[in-house]
Amino acid sequence: MLTLPRIGQGTWDVPESGARMQEAIDALRTGIALGMTHIDTAEMYGNGRAEEIVGEAVSGIPRDSLFVTSKVLPGNATYDGTIAACERSLKRLRMDYLDLYLLHWPSRFPLKDTMRALEQLVRDGKARAIGVSNFDLDDVREAQSYLQNVPLACNQVLYHLRERGIETRLIPYCTSNGIAVVGYTPFGRSRFPRPSSRGGAVLEQIAAKYGKTVRQIVLNFLTRMPHVYTIPKASRSEHARENAGAAGWDLEQADIDAIDEAFPVEDGPLATI
Protein backbone atom coordinates (compact mmCIF):
# COMPACT_ATOMS: atom_id res chain seq x y z
CA MET A 1 0.00 0.00 0.00
CA LEU A 2 1.28 3.48 -0.82
CA THR A 3 2.10 5.73 2.09
CA LEU A 4 1.93 9.42 1.36
CA PRO A 5 0.82 12.61 3.08
CA ARG A 6 -2.98 12.79 3.27
CA ILE A 7 -3.04 16.27 1.80
CA GLY A 8 -0.93 16.96 -1.26
CA GLN A 9 -0.73 19.69 -3.88
CA GLY A 10 -2.33 19.80 -7.33
CA THR A 11 -0.94 21.75 -10.28
CA TRP A 12 -3.71 21.99 -12.85
CA ASP A 13 -4.10 25.59 -14.11
CA VAL A 14 -0.99 26.75 -12.30
CA PRO A 15 0.00 30.19 -13.68
CA GLU A 16 2.57 29.57 -16.40
CA SER A 17 4.65 32.76 -16.48
CA GLY A 18 5.51 36.04 -14.77
CA ALA A 19 4.94 37.10 -11.20
CA ARG A 20 1.92 34.82 -10.74
CA MET A 21 4.03 31.82 -11.75
CA GLN A 22 6.71 32.81 -9.24
CA GLU A 23 3.99 33.11 -6.60
CA ALA A 24 2.78 29.61 -7.50
CA ILE A 25 6.34 28.26 -7.18
CA ASP A 26 6.61 29.90 -3.75
CA ALA A 27 3.25 28.38 -2.80
CA LEU A 28 4.40 24.88 -3.79
CA ARG A 29 7.60 25.35 -1.79
CA THR A 30 5.62 26.65 1.20
CA GLY A 31 3.35 23.63 1.01
CA ILE A 32 6.28 21.22 0.80
CA ALA A 33 7.94 22.86 3.82
CA LEU A 34 4.67 22.32 5.72
CA GLY A 35 4.51 18.61 4.86
CA MET A 36 2.48 18.64 1.62
CA THR A 37 5.23 16.73 -0.17
CA HIS A 38 2.85 14.82 -2.44
CA ILE A 39 2.81 16.79 -5.72
CA ASP A 40 0.34 15.94 -8.45
CA THR A 41 0.94 16.93 -12.06
CA ALA A 42 0.32 15.65 -15.60
CA GLU A 43 1.67 16.06 -19.10
CA MET A 44 -1.70 17.60 -19.96
CA TYR A 45 -1.40 20.55 -17.56
CA GLY A 46 -0.25 23.54 -19.59
CA ASN A 47 1.03 21.11 -22.25
CA GLY A 48 3.90 20.11 -20.00
CA ARG A 49 4.47 23.57 -18.52
CA ALA A 50 3.12 22.51 -15.11
CA GLU A 51 5.71 19.73 -14.96
CA GLU A 52 8.48 22.23 -15.73
CA ILE A 53 7.18 24.50 -12.98
CA VAL A 54 7.13 21.60 -10.51
CA GLY A 55 10.73 20.82 -11.52
CA GLU A 56 11.66 24.43 -10.81
CA ALA A 57 9.76 24.51 -7.50
CA VAL A 58 11.45 21.41 -6.11
CA SER A 59 14.98 22.15 -7.25
CA GLY A 60 17.30 21.81 -4.28
CA ILE A 61 14.81 19.73 -2.30
CA PRO A 62 16.01 16.14 -1.72
CA ARG A 63 14.20 13.93 -4.21
CA ASP A 64 13.50 11.22 -1.65
CA SER A 65 11.59 13.67 0.55
CA LEU A 66 9.02 14.17 -2.24
CA PHE A 67 6.23 12.04 -3.69
CA VAL A 68 5.66 13.10 -7.31
CA THR A 69 2.81 11.85 -9.49
CA SER A 70 2.34 12.47 -13.20
CA LYS A 71 -0.07 11.12 -15.79
CA VAL A 72 -0.02 9.99 -19.39
CA LEU A 73 -2.64 11.49 -21.70
CA PRO A 74 -5.06 8.87 -23.06
CA GLY A 75 -4.18 9.97 -26.61
CA ASN A 76 -0.57 8.88 -25.94
CA ALA A 77 -1.44 5.68 -24.13
CA THR A 78 -0.26 3.06 -26.61
CA TYR A 79 2.54 0.82 -25.30
CA ASP A 80 5.33 2.86 -26.94
CA GLY A 81 3.49 6.15 -26.44
CA THR A 82 3.21 5.59 -22.69
CA ILE A 83 6.92 4.85 -22.34
CA ALA A 84 7.83 7.91 -24.41
CA ALA A 85 5.38 10.18 -22.53
CA CYS A 86 6.88 9.17 -19.20
CA GLU A 87 10.36 9.96 -20.44
CA ARG A 88 9.25 13.40 -21.65
CA SER A 89 7.61 14.07 -18.27
CA LEU A 90 10.77 13.08 -16.41
CA LYS A 91 12.83 15.43 -18.56
CA ARG A 92 10.48 18.36 -17.88
CA LEU A 93 10.46 17.56 -14.16
CA ARG A 94 14.25 17.12 -14.18
CA MET A 95 13.83 13.82 -12.31
CA ASP A 96 15.05 10.25 -12.77
CA TYR A 97 11.84 8.62 -11.62
CA LEU A 98 8.21 9.27 -10.72
CA ASP A 99 6.78 7.98 -7.45
CA LEU A 100 3.50 7.30 -9.21
CA TYR A 101 2.52 7.29 -12.89
CA LEU A 102 -1.14 7.14 -13.92
CA LEU A 103 -3.25 6.77 -17.02
CA HIS A 104 -5.15 10.09 -16.88
CA TRP A 105 -8.52 8.69 -17.98
CA PRO A 106 -9.71 5.64 -19.97
CA SER A 107 -8.36 5.74 -23.52
CA ARG A 108 -9.39 4.36 -26.91
CA PHE A 109 -6.23 2.22 -27.00
CA PRO A 110 -6.25 -1.30 -25.52
CA LEU A 111 -5.95 -0.94 -21.76
CA LYS A 112 -3.83 -4.09 -21.68
CA ASP A 113 -1.08 -2.35 -23.69
CA THR A 114 -1.09 0.71 -21.42
CA MET A 115 -0.89 -1.41 -18.27
CA ARG A 116 1.95 -3.48 -19.75
CA ALA A 117 3.82 -0.25 -20.51
CA LEU A 118 3.25 1.03 -16.98
CA GLU A 119 4.64 -2.22 -15.61
CA GLN A 120 7.66 -1.90 -17.86
CA LEU A 121 8.28 1.62 -16.50
CA VAL A 122 8.41 0.14 -12.98
CA ARG A 123 10.86 -2.55 -14.14
CA ASP A 124 13.01 0.17 -15.76
CA GLY A 125 13.04 2.22 -12.56
CA LYS A 126 11.19 5.14 -14.19
CA ALA A 127 8.13 4.78 -11.94
CA ARG A 128 7.95 3.46 -8.40
CA ALA A 129 4.23 2.75 -8.56
CA ILE A 130 1.47 2.87 -11.17
CA GLY A 131 -2.23 3.46 -11.36
CA VAL A 132 -5.18 4.97 -13.13
CA SER A 133 -7.40 8.02 -12.89
CA ASN A 134 -11.11 8.56 -13.54
CA PHE A 135 -11.68 4.79 -13.53
CA ASP A 136 -14.97 3.39 -12.24
CA LEU A 137 -15.12 0.00 -10.55
CA ASP A 138 -15.29 -2.22 -13.66
CA ASP A 139 -12.43 -0.30 -15.29
CA VAL A 140 -10.33 -0.68 -12.13
CA ARG A 141 -10.93 -4.43 -12.14
CA GLU A 142 -9.99 -4.62 -15.82
CA ALA A 143 -6.78 -2.63 -15.23
CA GLN A 144 -5.85 -4.96 -12.37
CA SER A 145 -6.42 -8.02 -14.54
CA TYR A 146 -3.67 -6.94 -16.97
CA LEU A 147 -0.98 -6.42 -14.34
CA GLN A 148 1.28 -9.39 -13.76
CA ASN A 149 3.96 -8.37 -11.27
CA VAL A 150 3.15 -4.86 -10.09
CA PRO A 151 0.00 -4.01 -8.11
CA LEU A 152 -2.38 -1.26 -9.12
CA ALA A 153 -1.47 1.35 -6.51
CA CYS A 154 -3.88 4.21 -7.08
CA ASN A 155 -7.09 5.47 -8.62
CA GLN A 156 -7.35 9.27 -8.77
CA VAL A 157 -10.96 10.44 -8.95
CA LEU A 158 -13.22 13.45 -8.41
CA TYR A 159 -14.16 13.76 -4.74
CA HIS A 160 -15.70 16.71 -2.96
CA LEU A 161 -18.63 17.39 -0.65
CA ARG A 162 -21.16 17.43 -3.47
CA GLU A 163 -19.65 14.43 -5.30
CA ARG A 164 -19.40 11.63 -2.77
CA GLY A 165 -20.68 8.74 -4.92
CA ILE A 166 -17.29 7.00 -4.76
CA GLU A 167 -17.99 6.24 -1.08
CA THR A 168 -20.60 3.59 -1.94
CA ARG A 169 -18.53 1.05 -3.89
CA LEU A 170 -15.30 2.47 -5.32
CA ILE A 171 -13.60 3.46 -2.06
CA PRO A 172 -14.52 0.17 -0.28
CA TYR A 173 -13.27 -1.88 -3.24
CA CYS A 174 -10.02 0.10 -3.58
CA THR A 175 -9.34 0.04 0.14
CA SER A 176 -9.82 -3.70 0.39
CA ASN A 177 -7.57 -4.20 -2.64
CA GLY A 178 -4.73 -2.01 -1.36
CA ILE A 179 -5.44 0.74 -3.93
CA ALA A 180 -5.03 4.30 -2.68
CA VAL A 181 -7.85 6.66 -3.64
CA VAL A 182 -6.61 10.17 -4.39
CA GLY A 183 -9.48 12.63 -4.58
CA TYR A 184 -9.15 15.61 -6.90
CA THR A 185 -10.91 19.01 -6.98
CA PRO A 186 -11.65 18.87 -3.22
CA PHE A 187 -13.22 22.34 -3.25
CA GLY A 188 -15.61 21.43 -6.07
CA ARG A 189 -14.90 24.59 -8.07
CA SER A 190 -18.20 26.53 -8.47
CA ARG A 191 -19.96 24.04 -6.18
CA PHE A 192 -18.10 25.03 -3.02
CA PRO A 193 -20.76 25.58 -0.31
CA ARG A 194 -21.60 29.23 0.26
CA PRO A 195 -21.75 30.41 3.89
CA SER A 196 -25.38 31.43 3.32
CA SER A 197 -26.39 27.86 2.39
CA ARG A 198 -27.56 25.31 4.98
CA GLY A 199 -24.49 23.09 4.40
CA GLY A 200 -22.24 26.15 4.47
CA ALA A 201 -23.66 27.12 7.87
CA VAL A 202 -22.95 23.62 9.21
CA LEU A 203 -19.34 23.88 8.05
CA GLU A 204 -18.96 27.37 9.57
CA GLN A 205 -20.22 26.10 12.92
CA ILE A 206 -17.82 23.16 12.94
CA ALA A 207 -14.92 25.39 11.84
CA ALA A 208 -15.59 27.75 14.76
CA LYS A 209 -15.65 24.82 17.20
CA TYR A 210 -12.18 23.61 16.12
CA GLY A 211 -10.67 27.05 15.50
CA LYS A 212 -10.10 26.00 11.86
CA THR A 213 -11.27 27.42 8.56
CA VAL A 214 -14.12 25.95 6.53
CA ARG A 215 -11.64 24.79 3.86
CA GLN A 216 -9.61 22.99 6.51
CA ILE A 217 -12.75 21.24 7.75
CA VAL A 218 -13.55 20.18 4.18
CA LEU A 219 -10.05 18.79 3.50
CA ASN A 220 -9.97 17.00 6.85
CA PHE A 221 -13.39 15.45 6.19
CA LEU A 222 -12.34 14.27 2.70
CA THR A 223 -9.29 12.48 4.14
CA ARG A 224 -11.04 10.95 7.18
CA MET A 225 -10.96 7.42 5.76
CA PRO A 226 -7.82 5.30 5.66
CA HIS A 227 -6.08 5.32 2.25
CA VAL A 228 -8.06 8.28 0.91
CA TYR A 229 -5.97 11.33 0.00
CA THR A 230 -6.62 14.77 -1.47
CA ILE A 231 -4.65 17.17 -3.66
CA PRO A 232 -5.92 20.77 -3.47
CA LYS A 233 -4.23 23.16 -5.86
CA ALA A 234 -3.05 26.48 -4.46
CA SER A 235 -1.04 29.05 -6.36
CA ARG A 236 -0.93 31.43 -3.38
CA SER A 237 1.20 30.74 -0.32
CA GLU A 238 -1.57 31.74 2.09
CA HIS A 239 -3.79 29.08 0.50
CA ALA A 240 -1.02 26.47 0.73
CA ARG A 241 -0.53 27.33 4.42
CA GLU A 242 -4.24 27.03 5.09
CA ASN A 243 -4.49 23.70 3.27
CA ALA A 244 -1.50 22.26 5.14
CA GLY A 245 -3.28 23.12 8.41
CA ALA A 246 -6.04 20.68 7.51
CA ALA A 247 -3.88 17.67 8.40
CA GLY A 248 -2.69 16.23 11.70
CA TRP A 249 -5.95 16.30 13.67
CA ASP A 250 -9.29 14.50 13.50
CA LEU A 251 -12.92 15.57 13.37
CA GLU A 252 -15.11 14.06 16.06
CA GLN A 253 -17.67 11.50 14.87
CA ALA A 254 -20.59 13.82 15.69
CA ASP A 255 -19.17 16.47 13.35
CA ILE A 256 -18.52 13.90 10.62
CA ASP A 257 -22.18 12.86 11.00
CA ALA A 258 -23.33 16.49 10.73
CA ILE A 259 -21.36 16.96 7.48
CA ASP A 260 -22.70 13.62 6.21
CA GLU A 261 -26.24 14.84 6.76
CA ALA A 262 -25.65 18.23 5.15
CA PHE A 263 -23.90 16.76 2.08
CA PRO A 264 -25.45 13.32 1.54
CA VAL A 265 -23.84 10.63 -0.59
CA GLU A 266 -25.63 10.14 -3.90
CA ASP A 267 -25.02 6.86 -5.68
CA GLY A 268 -24.43 6.84 -9.45
CA PRO A 269 -21.77 6.39 -12.10
CA LEU A 270 -18.36 7.93 -11.47
CA ALA A 271 -18.43 11.69 -11.99
CA THR A 272 -15.55 13.54 -13.60
CA ILE A 273 -14.67 17.22 -13.87
Q: Which C-beta is closer to ligand NAP: that of 49 or that of 239? A: 239
Give the neighbor-by-neighbor strand order of the sheet with 38-40: 38-40, 67-72, 100-103, 130-133, 152-158, 180-184, 228-230
What distance in Å separates the CA atoms of residue 161 and residue 261, rounded to the nearest whole number? Answer: 11
List 186, 212, 217, 218, residue binding ligand NAP (CB under 6 A): 186
Q: Which C-beta is closer to ligand NAP: that of 109 or that of 229? A: 229
130 in Cβ contact with 152 (< 8 Å): yes
Residue 82 sits in the site that holds ligand NAP (CB under 6 A): no
| Residue type at position 53 | I
Residue 43 sits in the site that holds ligand NAP (CB under 6 A): no
User: Among the candidate windows 9-17, 59-67, 162-170, 247-255, which touches ligand NAP by CB under 6 A?
Assistant: 9-17
Residue 146 annotated as catalytic: no
Q: Which C-beta is closer to ligand NAP: that of 14 or that of 122? A: 14
User: How many residues in the chain?
Assistant: 273
Q: Which C-beta is closer to ligand NAP: that of 220 or that of 235? A: 235
59 in Cβ contact with 32 (< 8 Å): no
What distance in Å separates the CA atoms of residue 256 and residue 215, rounded to the nearest whole number? Answer: 15
- The radius of gyration of the chain's CA atoms, rounded to the nearest angstrom, is 18
77 in Cβ contact with 114 (< 8 Å): yes
What x/- string results for residues 88 through 117 when contact with ligand NAP is judged by CB under 6 A?
A: ----------------x-------------
Residues 222-251 touching ligand NAP, rule: CB under 6 A, are 231-236, 239, 242-243
According to DSSP, the residues that pair with 69 across neighbouring strands are: 40, 100
Residue 40 sits in the site that holds ligand NAP (CB under 6 A): yes
Neighbour tally for 17: CB within 10 Å: 10
Residue 96 Cβ vs ligand NAP, minimum distance, rounded to whole Å = 22
> Residues with catalytic annotation?
45
Binding site for ligand NAP (CB under 6 A): 10-13, 40, 104, 133-134, 156, 184-187, 215, 231-236, 239, 242-243, 273
